[in-house]
Each structure stands twice: as structure tokens, then as C-alpha cells.
Amino acid sequence: MLQLLCVTHSGRGEIDTHALLAALPTDEDLRRLEGPLLSPAFQEQTALGAAIRLKELVDASRVLVQDGLNRVHGLTPIRPQIDRLLAGLIAWQAGKVDWCDLLTSALISGPTGCGKTMLARAFAAQACVPLVSTSYAECQKAGHLGQMLAALDTVVSEAIAKAPCVFFIDEIDSFADRMIQHRNSEYQRQVVNAMLVHLTRLAQVPGVIVLAATNHPEHVDPALRRAGRLDLHLRMRYPDRAGISAILRDALGPSAPDFGAAADLLIGVSGATAAGVARAALGIARQHARPVATDDLIDAAQEIVPAMSPGLLKRMAVHEAGHLLAAFQLFPTPPTSASIGPSGGTMELPIQPAITETDLRAAMIVRLAGWAAELATFGDASIGAGGTEQSDLALATRIAIDAVTRHALFGSDLLWTPVAPEHHLTMPKHLRLRVTDLLNAANAAARQLVADHPQAIETIAQALIEHRELDAGQIADLRARILDSARGAQNFEAMRESSGMMATRDCAKHPKF
């Protein structure tokens, strides 16, 4: 910086080095400033003025840097791993640990708009290191295969040259599984192979943290996802009510109005959508030349996310109540959160390893219990159980297909014959019948469970309507009210056993079992 100031602010190439050293930020602070931020400083008339301006810019950016990760909402489940990655990088920079002893990479997955890119930027800012980013599409636009691979090599080489830094690759699911055959399989294989080489190369460079983002982790080639290339899998989620409130507060400033009602309307939406609502509210207030009011937020929320009718809210609550009741009865540990909102209902479960046939039956029943609760309460069902690859029916179907084609369970042939999702419709008839029998048996068990506990469905649904969002403590209290400690243990074992017997009896009707 001193040499640069000699060129830009001294006709004779001489400056007062001691005065400038006293005025300039530290080397570490200067590294935090990216190119565009240097321009205002160099517009000063004197070298000393430029140094003072640089110090002001550093001080202004430090506030955002220190609070960077706290401004990314929805990190609660993965924040410990993020903090460990950050602490490891800082410890290595301080010479306290060898790079080979650290986890240095992660796959970040989550729905659209949950903040994956924002997390990568915040991580780099808080670590005070450069961010080097790219994507499959960014490299592909360079041209044909050779040019694309050259573009990928260039950006990886840039990250290595800038170490310590964060290398971020977005939409890594575009580097899809090489085992899936399609028209461009050979092209895809070469691109994925190149990415494998580059991830191995980056892993060997001290100081490079690799973060990769995707909405669909199941589509990423397994070799890319393995430890050593992407060590951790961090699953982000949409922000809860507290996170949405924080996003609104960040966008509207400390003098923001009460946003509790608006936050209730936005439960279940992405952080990007919540930020868009805040900008819309600012626009409404600007149009009327006044500060933002609570009504502005509510109006903006209803423009972007239309309010649900009482009937739809009730149906959504009953649907989620069915899932919760089945989870209470069939899983050893209760869900950790549940919510209903404009984008649908959600229920988050701790990892439940499905090892036995009984475990798999329980998982299918829990998936189908929302549909069963709607039928029992309203006499008909909505489309809420189906739709996307992550819908209740899709996930239950995947469990059943894997059980009979990958694991040879439920009396199926002792043969490993996995079926990719795109081939579900072309499965042999006998496999389709086995899967259908399993799903019908799980549905029958779910409907019986719901029919036996109508008051429990109503209690859970009313709690969801009242709070819109239930945390782990509220869910534990609900579970205790519905299943007391003694009878709950009996119900858990009895329901698992009875659901398994029901499934076995139904499956036995088909000669293939």
C-alpha cells in the first residue's frame, strides 16, 4: 500500500512513510478490503488523507465482519460445525495447528433462498479471507468442453494463489452422478472427473476452505460428497419465527415497528422472501413519505405471501397433527420442531436410523399419517401429501421401493435391483405390486392410528393454529399430555408391533410375499 501511494499521491515518488504507517490499518485489516472499496480512499487529495480514509473503511466493515455469521438465519442446527471450521482456520493462521489435522470442507444443502451463498460470504468475511466463487454454469459458459475445463482450472488456481481463502462452488448438483446414463453422460463424466481432481488438489493446499452448495444433495456424484473432498454435510433450513424477526429487524433498522404479526404470516418462507417483504414495506413507506409502520409490513407480507383462509389453515394443522401423532406413537424420540405457514407445513425429526422392517413400516406410516388425518377429519384429502420429490407420498414410496429392491425385505426376492427415481414408472409389474402393497398397508395403519386418537389430532392441530410454530420443548409437552410416561412407553411398543402385524398380514395377501 505504501508503494502504491508513492505512485498515486507523490509527484516525486516520496512520501512520509512513518506518518502513513501510523495512519494505515494493519495488514490483516487491509486484506479485508476488496478492490471496489479502495476507490473512495484513493480519491483523497493526499497520501495521508487516503490512509485515514482506508482506516475509516476498515472500521466500518469490522462491525459487519464480526457479526457476519449472526446475520445468516437458519443456522441453528449447523452453527457448531460452522464455528469449528472457522476456529480451525483461525488456529491454523496462528500457527497453533497443522492443516492436515483439520476438517476443511463442507457440502451445504437446503431449499432455495435459505442463505447458502450468504453463508459462504459471511464465513469468508468473518475469517477475514478472500472469497473465490464459481459454479458449473459459470464455467460452462466459457465454451466447449476443453474451454469449460480450462475455466474450472483457472478459478481453482486463483483460489490456491489467494490462500488463505474460501473457495465456494454453487449448484454443485450440476456435477451429477456419473452412474446415471443420459445423452450427455460422457461429457458429464469428464467434467465430474475434473472436479474430483480439483477437490483433491484443493484439499492438499493449506489455507483453502472449500464450501459447495446445492438444493439437491442426492443428485451430487457420491465421489464428490465423500470425506476428504467434502468433509461435512451441513443442512440449512428456512428461518424460524425468531430468524424471520431478525431478518426484518436487520433490514428495517433499530427503529423498526412491531413485526410480530408479519413474522407470523411469514413462517415457513425463505429468508430471501422475508428480506423481500422488508424491502416492499420500505417502498410503501417511501411512497407515503413516512417511516415504516406495522401495517406496511403486514400489507407487504400479504402482497408477497397471500394470507391463508381459516379453512386452509385448519386443514394444514390437521395434516401436520397426523404426522406428529404418528411420530409420537412410533418413534423413540419426538420431533424437534413443527410449523404451518403459507408455504406449507413442516416437521423436523432427529435422525431416525431405519434398520429393521418395523422401522421402515413406522417411517412409512408417519409419512402417510398427515393424509390419513385429513381424511378422518374432513372426509376428503388435499394434494398436500403429494407433489414434489420431497412430498410425503414420494418419500414413503422411496422407502418402500428401496426396501424391496435394495434391501430384499418384506419377503422380496434375494436380489439387489435398485431403481432410480426416473425409472419408477417402468418398474416390473411384480415390483410395483409389492411397493403398492407396502404403501397400502402403511396407509391402513395410519388411518387406524388417527381413528383411534381423534382428540389427540384436535389438540395438536389447535396448538399449531395458536402458535404456528412449535419448538422441541412445546412438542415434548404435547407428547407428554397425549401419552403419559407409563402408557406412552406401552403405546410406543404396542403401536410399532401392531402396525408391523397389520403390514405383514396385508403383504401376505399377495402371492409374491
**Residues with catalytic annotation?**
320
The rounded distance, in Å, linking the Cα atoms of 101 and 219 is 29
Q: What is the DSSP string of 129-171?
A: --EEEEEHHHHHTT-SHHHHHHHHHHHHHHHHHT-SEEEEEE-
CA dihedral for 343, 347, 351, 356, sign (positive or negative)? negative
User: What single letter denotes the amino acid at residue 467?
Assistant: H
> What are the backbone angles phi and psi of residue 344, rounded to the nearest 5°?
120, -175
The rounded distance, in Å, linking the Cα atoms of 108 and 487 is 41
Q: Is 354 exposed, middle or buried (0-12, 13-18, 19+ CB in 10 A)?
A: middle
The rounded distance, in Å, linking the Cα atoms of 258 and 293 is 8
Strand-pair category, 165-170 with 208-214: parallel
Cell, residue 235: 443442512
Q: Residue 212 belongs to what H/E stretch?
A: strand 208-214
The rounded distance, in Å, linking the Cα atoms of 46 and 53 is 11
The rounded distance, in Å, linking the Cα atoms of 149 and 480 is 57
Asked if 346 and 427 touch (Cβ cutoff 8 Å), the reply is no
Exposure on the CB side of residue 477, measured as CA atoms within 13 A: 6
